[in-house]
Amino acid sequence: MNPRVRGALFAALIGFEGIASLVWPQSGLAHAALDAPPAEARVQGPTLQRDGPYVFSTESGYRVINTKKHGDVWQLRDRVLPSRSARITVHVDNPAATTFRVALRPAPSPAPSVLADNPSRLLMVSDMEGEFDKFVALMRAQGVIDADLHWSYGDGHLVLVGDFVDRGQNVLPLLWLIYRMDDEARKAGGGLHYVLGNHEQFALSGTPKYWPDRMLSSAQAMGDHAEKRMFGESSVLGAWLRSKPVMMKI
């Protein structure tokens, strides 16, 4: 055989062996060529980042899935909380390393699509798309929340006109904050009205087209088409979003 041809074939075989490993994100293990050394057969799974929590209603309580850092590696943590007085801690991936607590509650009834009375104060906001810090800055500037992220708008009403998910890096923290504000506003005699936009519809249908990498990685690590379940009917956030209207008369 021509030495050049033999060299090309040898290089091709080496190249093939080098790319013979494929990642299986669900397990983080690799499927390798039979003759590949074990050390080369192991490759990194999806690059997890701070994400979650994703909370699901089950017969035994609330199933909570989020990422947690062990040394230099982010891993999925999966646990169950009792339904009674269940609370979660939300960690925001921002320079301030913001954290806040959220009380979980049963799936709500459908929210009204008509605001009949003129409120004392009314603020309308849209298209924050996972931008937690920008949303918080705006809410504080308008007196809607205080320094501890709690509702301070009294009997005023806040209308969120869709597209608070996708693109931004803190989709889950933003949704959990709005979820908490919704409950606090009602108890204060005010109201938070969330009108679903097309991006909320994407989330509810399990369409991850505009999801940030951290959410895509979490879905891959959970496996079994998790993107369809992350805001599914058993999801606390999914059930809450499904209770909101797609249009509203004010």
pLDDT at 22: 28
Mean pLDDT over 77-84 rounds to 92
Mean pLDDT over 142-163 rounds to 97
Tell me: the pLDDT tens digits for 7-29? 443 333 333 333 222 232 333 32
pLDDT at 27: 34
CATH code for the structural domain at 122-242: 3.60.21.10
**What band does 133 get if pLDDT is binned at 50, 70 and 90?**
very high
Mean pLDDT over 77-86 rounds to 91
What is the DSSP code string of the chain?
Answer: --HHHHHHHHHHHHHHHHT--EEETTTTEEE--TTS-HHHH--------S---EEEEETTEEEEEEEEEETTEEEEEEEEE-STT-EEEEE--STT--EEEEE--PPPPPPPSB--SPPS-EEEE---TT-HHHHHHHHHHTTSB-TTS-B--TT-EEEEES--SSSSS-HHHHHHHHHHHHHHHHHTT-EEEEE--HHHHHHHTT--TT--HHHHHHHHHH-SSGGGTTTSTTBHHHHHHHTS-S--B-
pLDDT at 186: 97
pLDDT at 32: 30
pTM across the whole model: 0.80
For residues 26 and 205, the model is more confident at 205
pLDDT at 140: 98
Tell me what percent of the residues of the chain surpass a pLDDT of 90: 71
Tell me: the pLDDT tens digits for 17-75? 332 222 323 333 233 333 333 333 333 456 899 999 999 999 999 999 999 998 988 99
Instruction: For the chain, give every domain's residue range.
Output: 3-41, 54-103, 122-242
